[in-house]
A and B are shown apart, each in its own frame.
Chain A
């Protein structure tokens, strides 16, 4: 009788140790906070289509027929990723997003990020991420304020 009780106690202790060990190995939840949106600023249409690109460092350039107007609001989108220290994670960006304005729409694509593809939270358990993209402007793009939204995902590797 006594022996059986001891066996049961030992079995419970082994199981308990395993459970505790599993808890200690879990990673902190990954988090993603948006600090600021992506802004392309003022763009001037000249009758020829073109593109405007905002890089992850916030520099803006135009190609084709569009000209750059004032730079108010030009910014990459910025985020803070938090989670487990020294842990790698992947960044997923959209492939294409549509902005709409008073009487028209524009496509934004060729998203870039810094870090690119994946990052690492480091000893500080967080990392800043910035995102840029390219906007396609039509030859007769109707004037107005255009806006849109998109999603960014991060995940532990």
Chain B
């Protein structure tokens, strides 16, 4: 019986080359990733008329005069309404983004109006809507408030200033 010797050569096969891994797809791209930004013009506000309570007669007891954003004036207590010439709510024009919305900030603390050494306070500032929408980049609004008249408030022309702020929201 002959012994059969089978020469077998096993060839070492390198499975991975040094460097890039073997994969059908070793890189991937996300094309057309979107990016967006909205540019708007700065918002501006301009006052177009002062808040004016008109003529008031002080009484022997204190009272309050209220002026609404729609120019309606009323009084309670000792203060009485006299002529209403010049009575008007404060009005403002706002400009900005074509179609932006903005919030209105009114004074949170009472404002003093003075006539020489005499003073009265104005507070409870109101406007119909705390936020408004600009239309074609413009919008107007009005502000009313309440005036506290002391008993026997000395006569005179009383004046003061207050701040209104608008900001995009």
Contact = CB atoms under 8 A, between A and B. Distances in A.
Interface of A: 3, 6-7, 10, 14, 18, 21-22, 25-34, 37-47, 52, 67, 69-70, 73, 77, 79, 81, 83-84, 87, 97, 99, 101, 104, 106, 108, 131, 133, 135, 137, 141-156
Contacts of A31: 25, 28
Contacts of A73: 36, 38
Contacts of A97: 35
Main secondary structure of the interface of B (DSSP, over half): loop
Main secondary structure of the interface of A (DSSP, over half): strand
Contacts of B32: 149, 151
Contacts of A145: 36-38
For the complex of A and B, the 5 pairs showing the least CB-CB separation, nearest first, are A37-B34, A155-B27, A40-B37, A29-B25, A18-B13
B31 interface: yes
Given A106-B37, A146-B37, A25 B168 contact: no
A39 B38 CA distance: 9
Contacts of A6: 6
A8 B114 CA distance: 115
Contact of A152 (B4, B13, B29): B29
B26 A99 contact: no
A149 B145 CA distance: 51
Interface string B32-58: 111111111111000000000000000
Given A29-B28, A67-B42, A156-B20, 6 more contacts: A40-B38, A44-B42, A104-B39, A147-B36, A154-B27, A156-B27
Contact of B34 (A44, A46, A149): A149
Contacts of B35: 37-40, 77, 97, 99, 108, 133, 147-150
A10 B66 CA distance: 108
A29 B100 CA distance: 47
B18 interface: no
Interface residues of B, number: 39
B90 to A, nearest CB: 25
Contacts of A156: 20-21, 23, 26-27
14 contacts: A22-B13, A29-B28, A30-B28, A32-B29, A34-B30, A34-B33, A45-B39, A69-B40, A73-B36, A97-B35, A99-B35, A108-B35, A142-B39, A152-B29
A54 to B, nearest CB: 9
B36 A37 contact: yes
A141 B8 contact: no
A152 B27 contact: no
Contacts of B4: 3
Contact of A25 (B10, B16, B28): B16
A88 to B, nearest CB: 10
Contact of A10 (B8, B40, B42, B97): B8
Nearest to B41: A143
B66 to A, nearest CB: 34
Contacts of A34: 30, 33
